[in-house]
Structure 1
Amino acid sequence: MKKYIVLFALTAISVSGLAQGTLSGDLMMNANFFRRDSTINADGNPLYDNYLSGGEAWLGMRYYNKGFTATLRTDAFHNSNLLNPVQAFSGFGIGAWSLSKEYHDLTVTAGYIYDQIGSGILFRAYEDRGLLIDNALVGVHLKYKIGENLYAKAFAGQQKFLFERYLPIIKGGNVEGEVNLGDKAHMTPGVGILNRTLDQASMDQVVSTINSQPMETRFVPKYNMYAFTAYNTLTWGDFSWYMEGAYKTEEAFVKDNRLQFGDGNAQYTTLGYARKGFAINLTGKRTEDFVMRTSPNQVLLRGMMNWQPIVARLRPQRLMARYTPASQDISEMALGGDVLVAPNDDLSLTFNYTHINTLEEKLLYREAYAEAEYRGLKDIILQGGVQLMQYNQEIYQVKPGVPIVKSFIPFAEVTYRFDSKHSIRTQWEYQQTKEDFGSWIFGLVEFNIAPKWSFAVSDMYNIDPGPAATNGGHHYYNVFTAFTKGPHRFTASYVKQVEGINCTGGVCRYEPAFSGVRLGITSSF
């Protein structure tokens, strides 16, 4: 890894010797101090029993000069709980680096590449530090401007995993264009292709797994998988319509807890209409056996080559967020609709309905949601609403035999502005359900002193414990403060967190209960 640092330094120095460029960077650091609390099951692993503290940090640098760009990011994990919430992970090294040069209409990049094709259904290399997703493509990337409104790109490499790489080879590319259809209509069509080739070690593991299965389920696997997509965005006056369809050839993939052999497909579309005071958006998605991983040997969040759009809305309310549905790549039929009505500048109404089943018509998720916001009172903003929800905990949280969670949540929020700098916000939620942990009540009070200080206190109480609350009802307190000065932000919080699913952008993972102190720093320069 030292050779990469030397390479970065020598390149930046040599280029800056010719002409002065710009150097920028960013820093993110987290620290956790674990406080054992057996009453909420925050115990029984090395983090609480032995290490007691841990954290992670990312420092990125970017140098730019006349079409040349060099980036370098160092990653540090010291007894971090990001990789596995109940185990400590430590490591330090180069998390990402890249060298890029623009020359006429061609841009060449080598190193760690973040990019996607279309909406990401076919391929997406991206980073989400909250879930420790960093599936950058380590290789070479070319982008060429064919004409005024026509672009093409191609790439090849291996997917990153922490400080190493998965061995299968990924190759792909796409062509995108822009077409004007008169004064009011415009479309941006595109097509993409992807090929993944298994290495011998991965293939040997696949063959071994197949041979351990019953004879009637065995098959001959293939080294190569090919996938294709076509997509287009059409805008016409107040309308906007995006649609994408993808297909992949036969390969080995995990389904029903064993390796199977077959192809897959996915379709996704959104249709929107908006004008002053009114907007509507409809979303649909169908997925059948569209598993895109570096190899069939990878599961959960590992080896994901794509990103499946999520139809359900991600709710910021604490109790609603506990049951956010993740996109399903094996079997999913999802429909959603949003309506926004604003009869005047003081009032806005939002309505949403989401309907998600498997292709076999098994219920996965239902949500009916309504919200109102009123700004007609001086210095006061009122917000309130209600959610009705059904959530298949057996599939989303892999808990065999548990019933569908049926939940009713009313909520209210009031924000009062004392003056241009001082404001206070309070939020209250109640969740009524007999399943999982049972019913909850949540309250939050937040005081802000713009632009520097923010303070918040909240409590989440298990008011009517359900079958999963084996130790009875508990208070889950959170005390938070943040200080911002220019590009620097410092946070500190004392947290008690119930076990559950943490979702970001439709990608979810289970997290156990947490008890302790969290510190954070973010900065840019």
Structure 2
Amino acid sequence: MKKYILSLITVCSCLTFIAQEQNEELQISGNFQVLAQSYNEDSLIRADVPDELMTLNSFANIIARKGNFQAGLRYESYLPSQLGYPTNFKGSGIGYRFASYKDDGIAITVGNFYEQFGNGLTLRSFEDRNLGLENALDGVRVLIEPIKGLTVKGVYGKMRLDFDGRIINSEGFVRGLDGELSLNEAISGWEDKKTKITLGASFVSKFQADDRLDLNLPENVGNYSGRINVIHGNWRMMAEVAEKINDPSADNAFIFNKGIAILGNLTYSQKGFAISGDVKYIDNYSYRADRALQGIAPFINFMPALTKQHSYMLASQFYAYATQPTGEFAYMGEVSYKFKKDTPLGGKYGTQINLNYSRATGIEKNRTSTEAFLENGVTYESPLFSSNGEVYFSDFNAEIKKKFSKKVKTKFTYFNFIYNNTINQGAPLLTGKQVKGNVYADVFVAEANIKTKSKQNLRIVAQGLRTNQHQGDWVSLVMEYTISPHWNFALLDSYNFGNKIDENKLHYPLGSLAYSEGAHRLSFEYGKRRAGLFCVGGVCRVVPASNGLTLTLTSSF
């Protein structure tokens, strides 16, 4: 840790010297968060309690800026980490440090950095504190703009895999090159054309030594893609196709098949109306810096889940979907329409209707002959955009937004889910045992926001979940009162009244209080939380049941 602190002091000293030479100010900014949680014994909900009885997740970012120079670090503490958080976050120390320089047509970063090529099919290095994802690269990144409209990015480094009081990177390396060309900027006379076209291509390679005596594993695994974005008036089209050479790993049971990923979107929008369609095809596309890792461990790339991200508890924490990298065929369609004001369906303020449907299935896998397997290690062949008919996940939702007056706004939503828990493994019973087969669920939500006084708002959310599988039927009620800009109070209760086991028909009450002042916020929560899923962008982690007090402090400067 001393060498990191000395490095930052050196960088800041250089920036201070330059500031004195150029008579410019050195700017310091940052933010921090503290999340402390205490745990109570609760045998009814099978709450987990750590030996320490408390957990602490915290971090602080400090960034120094001077002209074209920038340097910073992040200090992290997990003492120990919150229950349900990935176990590879431990101890206290420097978890991120960097220095960068930017000038006309060039930008250079050394140390840690985040980067994404295109839609992320070949490379996406990012963090999500809430989910517990962190796969920053540690090395060098260079960005250049050699001609107008062309951006070229190159990265070389190791990927963060663990944290134990210090950064623990992958043993191997990640190397990548990406180019993006805006034809309208690069070609003279195209600037004002109605059609805007952007082309892109990327290549990423990872190196990891072959540590298996029983297999002849490839040590350098390449992944490449091409993409296009077109905008024409109200129309938008995006497509990206990526292919990965054979990459035997724990995710695919060490088979030698190549991997492929296809992502596409078509959208039309105008005032009051929008329609979009998405398609995704993935076959054997797991791509990690360490071939032995599985689960929530970091990927080099990103495979989005083609499902709408929901915010209501009964719709988001029970049957959320995570992308299946070994193979899936998915599609999603969405329509949004707003009935105009002063019409029979629009009323005085207009009415917004949103319809969304998504579905993910397994892909067809035709097993190859024994001779073919012995020759090249390929175990199956899959026709492009094929489906084996097995539904992994299905989500239909309909939403109506209606404003009745200047003081009352409402939203009514219906969800229908098909959740294949044999595949997804996200619907456990209280005992922790996973249910088998499909879960069929309907969720109904009614939300009202009532402006009671100037700068004061009452939010009421009533939710109901109906299913004959898993834990049976649920109801939930949220009452939240906000006094802007400082205070927020909330009460929540969820009741599993439809559980087939009487002793498991439990309430999960929770209360919260928060105070905000400018860029600072302090909140307290006390109560029970059921075991469930926490998902972001197709990546999920299981959160265990808990009963206790949670304190959260966030601030920026």
Range into which the TM-score falls when normalised by the shorter chain = over 0.9
Supply the AA of the counterpart residue of 1:326.
A
Q: Counterpart in 1 of 2:460? A: 426
Contact 1:82–1:132, Cα closer than 8 Å, also in 2: no
1:29 is aligned to 34
Instruction: Give distance in 2, aligned partners of 1:160 and 1:517.
Output: 31
Q: How does 1:355-434 map to 2 (within 5 A)?
A: 355-359=359-363, 360-397=388-425, 402-434=436-468
Counting only pairs closer than 5 Å after superposition, residues 92-491 of structure 1 correspond to structure 2 as: 92-161=92-161, 162=163, 163-180=167-184, 182-199=192-209, 203-204=210-211, 207=212, 211=214, 219-255=215-251, 258-321=253-316, 322-344=318-340, 345-359=349-363, 360-397=388-425, 402-466=436-500, 471-491=503-523
Q: Secondary structure at the match of 2:151?
A: strand
Shift of 1:81: 2.5
Greater shift, 391-400 or 50-59, is seen at: 391-400
CA contact (8 A) 1:446 1:456 kept: yes
TM-score, structure 2 normalization = 0.87
Q: Secondary structure at the match of 1:3?
A: helix
Give the 3-state SS of the residue equivalent to 2:3 in structure 1.
Answer: helix
Aligned-pair CA distance for 1:128: 0.7
Amino acid at match of 1:392: N
Structure 1 residue runs without a partner (length 5+): 212-218
TM normalised by structure 1 equals: 0.92
Give CA-to-partner distance per residue, 1:289-309, whole Å, 9 cap, x none.
Answer: 001101220111213111111
Q: Deviations over 1:353-391 (max 9, x none)?
A: 111111122111111111101113231001112111111
Contact 1:80/1:88 (<8 A) preserved: no
Q: Which residue of 1 aligns with 2:64?
A: 63
Q: 1:82 to 1:267 in 2, by over 3 A?
A: farther
Partner Cα distance (1:442, 1:111) in 2: 46
Contact kept, 8 Å, 1:403 with 1:435, in 2: the verdict is: no
Letter in 1 for 2:56: G
Report deviation, 1:328: 1.4
Look up the match of 1:215. Answer: none
Offset, 1:123: 0.6
Query: Residue 29 of structure 2 contacts residue 64 of structure 2 at CA under 8 Å; is this kept in 1?
Result: yes
- Output the CA distance in 1 between the equivalents of 2:194 and 2:485: 41
The aligned counterpart of 2:366 is none
Pick which of 14-23 and 430-439 moved more: 14-23
Amino acid at match of 2:328: E
8 Å Cα contact 1:239-1:273 kept in structure 2: yes
SS in 2 for 1:38: coil
More moved, 31-40 vs 180-189: 180-189
SS of 2:17 mapped into structure 1: helix
Query: Contact (CA 8 Å) 1:346, 1:376: kept in 2 or not?
Result: no
Does the alignment pair 1:505 with 2:544?
no
Q: How big is the shift at 1:146?
A: 1.1
Deviations 1:153-206 (A, max 9, x none): 11111001222111011100100121225532112211000010113xxx21xx
Partners of 1:400 and 1:125 in 2: CA distance: 32
The answer on whether the counterparts of 1:82 and 1:131 sit within 8 Å (CA) in structure 2 is no
Give me the whole-angstrom Cα distance separating, in 2, the residues matched to 1:280 and 1:503. Answer: 25
Moved more, 513-522 or 470-479: 470-479
Q: Aligned with 2:11: secondary structure?
A: helix
Partner Cα distance (2:286, 2:177) in 1: 19
Q: How many aligned positions are there?
A: 503
Change (3 A) 1:404 1:83: closer
What residue identity is the alignment partner of 2:495?
A: Y
Q: Distance in 2 between matches of 1:69 and 1:378?
A: 46
Query: What SS does structure 2 have at the residue aligned with 1:394?
Result: helix
Let me know the Cα RMSD of the aligned residues.
1.7
**Structure 2 gap ranges (5+):** 20-24, 185-189, 341-348, 364-387, 427-432
In 2, the alpha carbon distance for the partners of 1:88 and 1:237 equals 48
1:188 & 1:166 partners in 2: Cα distance?
34
How many Å separate the matches in 2 of 1:301 and 1:187? 36
Alignment check: 8 A CA contact 1:347 1:376 kept: no
